[in-house]
Amino acid sequence: MVLTTPTSAYVALGSNIGDREQYLLDAIACLNENEDVFIAVRSSIYETEPVGLVDQAPFLNMVIGVETQLSAQELFAHMVSIESTLGRTRELRFGPRTIDLDLLLYGELAQDNPELILPHPRMEERAFVLVPLVEAMKKQQKEQADQWAAKLQHLNRKEGVTLWKKM
């Protein structure tokens, strides 16, 4: 058996249809079902105004940190299969969804394969991603927290992101 050092990765979760909190919790439980994925940290849950396509219901968003032996591609494939298990359909880009899972960061990996771009190409513009990401990293006392907090400051648009449930 070959044991490799696990990689720290961060996943953003969002839901704006049905029992939004339950979708987030179910997605985390499904991620954890893979024996090569360990949930290291979870942010609080935030209620957020829709961005992009604004005429839709408010989202619940959160970020989790995982430690994983899976490759980035394998982790992403696991996430896509969880989205379809939980009834995610793709009628509308940026539109309503039961669950959306985005891979934000996978260690230090940077790649521009359109199927899986890392770091996530739109994360720096999204307070609904950066607020929970910084919270999760601070909980882990990760040095990277400052770097992402600075981007959030730069964004200067935290309104529309309110604490919904402290975790």
Ligand X SMILES: Nc1nc2c(c(=O)[nH]1)N=C(CO)CN2
Instruction: Choose the one of ligand ATP, ligand X, none that binds residue 96, judging by a C-beta under 5 to 8 angstroms depending on kind.
Output: none
End-to-end CA separation in angstroms for the chain: 36
- Per CB under 6 A, the list member of 7, 8, 43, 48 interacting with ligand X is 48
Answer yes or no: 100 catalytic: yes
| Residue range at the interface with ligand X (CB under 6 A); choices 35-43, 46-54, 84-92, 136-144 | 46-54
Q: What is d(CA 125, CA 106) in angstroms, rounded to the nearest whole number? A: 19
Is 93 part of the annotated catalytic residue set?
Answer: no
Give 33 or 115: the residue with its C-beta nearer to ligand ATP: 115
Under the binding rule (CB under 6 A), the answer on residue 164 touching ligand X is no
Question: Is 97 in the active site?
Answer: yes
Q: Distance between CA atoms of 13 and 63, rounded to whole angstroms?
A: 6
Measured in whole angstroms, how far is the alpha carbon of residue 55 from the centre of its chain?
22
The upper half-sphere exposure of residue 96, i.e. CA atoms within 13 Å in the direction of its Cβ, equals 8
122 is catalytic: no
- Report 103-122 residues binding ligand ATP (CB under 6 A): 103, 115-118, 120, 122
If binding is defined by CB under 6 A, does position 46 make contact with ligand X? Answer: no
CA distance 105 to 130: 12
Residue 7's φ and ψ, nearest 5 degrees, are -105, 140
**Which 59-88 residues touch ligand X, going by CB under 6 A?**
59, 61
Catalytic residues: 88, 97, 100, 102
